Amino acid sequence: MGRLKSMPSRLGSMPSRVAAMPKVADRFYQSPEWAEARRRQPDKWCAVCGSTKRLILDHKQERKDGGADLDPANLEWLCQPHHNAKTAEARARRARGGR
Ligand SMILES: [Zn+2]
């Protein structure tokens, strides 16, 4: 049961449109390489507000936009609210077809 408890609870409340994202992205975020990148990335506070709670390691340039998967220069910590805001912004920009 330990594995189930460690699953992000936010998945259950996400709209199905988002939950249906490509499986390949899910596998990346479960990979040992990603776990290692998260261990190594310094400055464990939100790059926007400095919070140290509920941090998510974010790709500054998103992987779908060609950002490097594991380059520390392309990674930064964001708190969950700021990560959600950035993701929503990027999604909206992509939907408009812009950059
Ligand atoms: Zn923040």
Residue ranges of domains in the chain: 15-95
How many angstroms is it from 90 CA to the middle of ligand 1? Answer: 16
Question: In the prediction, which pLDDT does 97 show?
Answer: 86
Amino acid at 32: P
Is residue 43 left, alpha or beta, with left meaning phi > 0 and alpha meaning psi from -120 to 50? left
Write out pLDDT tens, residues 36-69: 999 999 999 999 999 999 999 999 998 988 999 9
**Angstrom distances, CA of residue 31 to CA of 25, 27, 98:** 10, 6, 30
Q: 32 is written with which tokens?
A: 């040992």
Global pTM reads: 0.69
How many angstroms is it from 56 CA to the middle of ligand 1? Answer: 10
Q: Would the CA dihedral through 37, 43, 49, 53 be positive or negative?
A: positive
How many angstroms is it from 73 CA to the middle of ligand 1? Answer: 19
How many angstroms is it from 93 CA to the middle of ligand 1? Answer: 21
pLDDT at 6 over 90: no
